[in-house]
Structure 1
Amino acid sequence: MPVPVTLLGLGRMGRALATRLTERGHPVTTWTRSGGGTAASAVEAVAGAEVVLLCLYDGPACRAVLDEVRPALPAGAVVVNTATVSPAEATELAALVPGTVHVPVLGSTGPAAAGTLTLLVGGTPGPAAAAVLADLGTALPCGTPAQAAAAKLVANGALADALLAVRTARTRAAALGLDPTLTLDLLEHTTLGGLVRAKRDRLADPQDDREADFAAAALAKDVALLAAALHPGADVAGLMTDPAVLAPLHDYAAGHATGDPSYHRRAFLPTAHVEGLRAGTFTSWTLDEYCALFTGAPAPDEASRRRRIDQVSATGSTATATMTLHHGPDVFTDSFVLLRVDGAWRIANKTYHRQV
């Protein structure tokens, strides 16, 4: 039976859920903070809704939207919050609107479009919300909103651990001289096989620029929530990788790809040094000396060159990282020390090993 649904939040998942529910015959009204929904405002969107579906990024976003729409919610409307938040936030948000059900999901936009999500249900949905959820996937009862939020963090923590295991295995394989394609073939026959098969195209091509099903920044946010829940009151900065630390590494790679030294000047602190052994002799370049090596044009064999970020670890305002660069017959392992200065990450120093 069709149920009038208001969907607040039109990111990747929100759009997929709206499409799925519309295809299943539910009248869907949408609103997003950045514009583009069918309603002009959040208050207008919830008028007449039986189920209000929150598809927002984090706890503060959910709180702000609920504060805005609470006075306008129709009597008996059920709020279903799909956001990934901490257990404490789930409890606080559920208390804002009595009868709120916390339902984070397992699965990305593909399962959302197909109606095959796993729904971690915290609370009692009621008939209308249950009918909507049945068209999105399979319910896994988790008890309270806090327990459903905790279950989602545990699941995403397992995903992060698996991705790190894939990265570690590929780094070891490269160090032992295994062909990258053979490495992925091998990993498909291990306990990581399901993940590798699902992501193989992107693992094989690090330059794949298709829209991600699940952004790295969102996973990092969820890992931070898990760390905070496990270590309440602690500084969890060292238990996650700040996605912003990748920016100077991407600039560094772009400098090599284009031959444009301005990328390196943006990536490095002005006081940085680049040090290593060249033909057995220790060499130390200032940033100016290093940038002078780049001509402003790509290398003739750039199309065949490959670069990969192997490891990143951030603790507070300092971080370390390693990259592997395949430049013709030469393979470089670059090691970086990075600092967060005035809110931005920069490379403080780089050392390298050249394997001919």
Structure 2
Amino acid sequence: MTASSTHAAVLGLGRMGTAVARRLADHGWQVTGWNRSPVSTPQDFTVVTDPLEAVAKADVVLLALYDGTACRDVIARIEPALAARAAVVNISTIAPQDAAELAVNLRSSYVHAPVLGSVPAVERGSLRILAAGQAGPAYEVLAALGEVHHVDDAATAAALKLIANTSLAGAVSALREALQQAAVLGLSRQQALDVLALGQLGGIVGRKRDLLTGATKPAEFTVGALAKDMDLLSAASQHPLRYAAELAESPAGPDADIALAATVPPVDASVLAPLESYIRGHATGDPSHFRAAFLPSAHVEGVRDGVFVSWNLDEYCAKFSGGPAYDEATRRRRIDSVDVHGTVATASMTLWHGADTFKDIFLLVRTGTEWRIANKAYHRS
């Protein structure tokens, strides 16, 4: 079967679906597209308003939809109209369980084929495709889009796609931290990007530099879409995933390109102020710094000499003599992380005090215009 004699239906005409439909049309496939919401922009392929019409003559039905719910809904609508020979190819990013259920329900006609890459990769035909399912016309369509990597089953293909996207989420997170540190050090955005382009983040910097320096252009991959993928991964694994919360709470907003999630400014100095007061309390032994850092109702809790202890602020302050420790010159403290969630924040700190190392975990709250520590728990090793 040649491209010119193959009918392909593309269901889902977002950025990726539209790019896929154009690519196939440009390479000789007869393409009919359909979208759940009306598409007003003229396309280089046929667009219809009825999904049943879109699939009626299709040899390959390609799904480019947002999530598993959308895939199930659309397949339920079109299944009665699918030709006996038609293969359903799903490039959507969905949960492994959803992919497995679709594969069972559609049996041999289903190819789960999530892709690595965005619109530019589609246009170049350089997607990396994780395909699980029987060979046939579906693979001819996929070959026009990029390099096909065969995977054992649909659930594995879906899981591997989510794992691949953690590297993208991680790159966004690492880039954000690098740019924040550069800003605090007084380096310009251009200087920071110049050097980051030479290292491990060079790929994302090269692809996104215009957005990172203030250009306005349509998103290739949105913050919301990547956040959705990280939520799917966390739900599938039942294991915490930091990137899921970071992306979901990004001030860039869900419709922004992922590059804008890396342009979040550093943590405001007001959040760091009580942590810095806490450090001064340890450095000087002056409990007034702890009273400035903590809320009056705060507690400090942990295990001391094998026994759980819980001190209120007065009891904690009473442990300090008003002067620095004899070995203060050798002691070190480091704020490890600060995560702000509206009017609350969490933070961690490591303190090296002589032979002991302390890991402190803080809960902070904003009271009016200032931040204070509500509670602290610690581990001593």
3-state DSSP of counterpart to 1:5: strand
With structure 2 as the length reference, what TM-score do the two structures score? Answer: 0.64
Residue of structure 1 in register with 2:219 after alignment: 212
Describe the shift of the 1:94–1:182 C-alpha distance in structure 2 as closer, same or farther (beyond 3 A): same
Indicate yes or no: 2:33 matched with 1:33: no
3-state DSSP of counterpart to 1:143: coil
Residue of structure 1 in register with 2:165 after alignment: 156
Contact between 2:55 and 2:61, CA under 8 Å: does it hold in 1?
A: yes
Residue of structure 2 in register with 1:328 after alignment: none
Residue of structure 1 in register with 2:98 after alignment: 89
Residue of structure 1 in register with 2:156 after alignment: 147
Describe the shift of the 1:32–1:319 C-alpha distance in structure 2 as closer, same or farther (beyond 3 A): farther
Match of 1:223 among 230, 234, 240: 230
Contact between 2:99 and 2:154, CA under 8 Å: does it hold in 1?
A: yes
The gaps in structure 1 that reach 5 residues or longer are 251-273, 283-310, 322-336, 339-346
Residue of structure 2 in register with 1:103 after alignment: 113
Contact between 2:169 and 2:243, CA under 8 Å: does it hold in 1?
A: no
Residue of structure 2 in register with 1:51 after alignment: 60
Residue of structure 2 in register with 1:13 after alignment: 16
**Cα deviations by residue, 1:105-133 (Å, 9 ceiling, x for unpaired):** 01110111121111111222x22111111
Residue of structure 2 in register with 1:65 after alignment: 74
Distance in structure 2 (CA, Å) of the matches to 1:135 and 1:319: 50
Paired residue total = 267
Describe the shift of the 1:240–1:70 C-alpha distance in structure 2 as closer, same or farther (beyond 3 A): same
Give the letter aligned to residue 132 of structure 1: V
With structure 1 as the length reference, what TM-score do the two structures score? Answer: 0.68
Residue of structure 2 in register with 1:116 after alignment: 126
Give the letter aligned to residue 5 of structure 1: A
Q: CA deviation at 1:349?
A: 5.9
Contact between 1:240 and 1:313, CA under 8 Å: does it hold in 2?
A: no
Q: CA deviation at 1:275?
A: 10
Match of 2:245 among 230, 235, 240: 240
Distance in structure 2 (CA, Å) of the matches to 1:51 and 1:200: 37
Contact between 2:57 and 2:83, CA under 8 Å: does it hold in 1?
A: yes
Q: CA deviation at 1:189?
A: 1.5
Q: CA deviation at 1:95?
A: 2.0
Distance in structure 1 (CA, Å) of the matches to 2:97 and 2:54: 28
Distance in structure 1 (CA, Å) of the matches to 2:126 and 2:369: 46
Q: CA deviation at 1:239?
A: 4.3
Contact between 2:90 and 2:111, CA under 8 Å: does it hold in 1?
A: yes
The gaps in structure 2 that reach 5 residues or longer are 40-45, 256-269, 274-291, 293-337, 347-363, 372-381
Q: CA deviation at 1:243?
A: 3.8
Distance in structure 2 (CA, Å) of the matches to 1:88 and 1:74: 26
Indicate yes or no: 2:119 matched with 1:135: no
Distance in structure 2 (CA, Å) of the matches to 1:46 and 1:239: 36
Residue of structure 1 in register with 2:316 after alignment: none
3-state DSSP of counterpart to 1:246: coil
Deviates more, 1:94-103 or 1:83-92: 94-103
Distance in structure 1 (CA, Å) of the matches to 2:367 and 2:8: 51
Contact between 1:142 and 1:151, CA under 8 Å: does it hold in 2?
A: no
The equivalences for 1:313-324 within 5 A come to none
Indicate yes or no: 2:88 matched with 1:79: yes
Q: CA deviation at 1:276?
A: 11
Task: Work out the percentage of aligned pairs sharing the same amino acid.
Answer: 41
Q: CA deviation at 1:240?
A: 2.0
Give the letter aligned to residue 212 of structure 1: A
Provide the alpha-carbon RMSD of the alignment. Answer: 3.1
Contact between 2:13 and 2:34, CA under 8 Å: does it hold in 1?
A: yes
Residue of structure 2 in register with 1:187 after alignment: 196
Residue of structure 2 in register with 1:341 after alignment: none
Q: CA deviation at 1:96?
A: 2.5
Describe the shift of the 1:350–1:224 C-alpha distance in structure 2 as closer, same or farther (beyond 3 A): farther
Distance in structure 1 (CA, Å) of the matches to 2:369 and 2:223: 25
Contact between 1:87 and 1:229, CA under 8 Å: does it hold in 2?
A: yes
Describe the shift of the 1:351–1:18 C-alpha distance in structure 2 as closer, same or farther (beyond 3 A): farther
**Cα deviations by residue, 1:204-263 (Å, 9 ceiling, x for unpaired):** 22xx3310100110000001111112217x8x7994246466389x9xxxxxxxxxxxxx
Contact between 1:6 and 1:52, CA under 8 Å: does it hold in 2?
A: yes
Contact between 1:82 and 1:102, CA under 8 Å: does it hold in 2?
A: yes
Give the letter aligned to residue 159 of structure 1: L
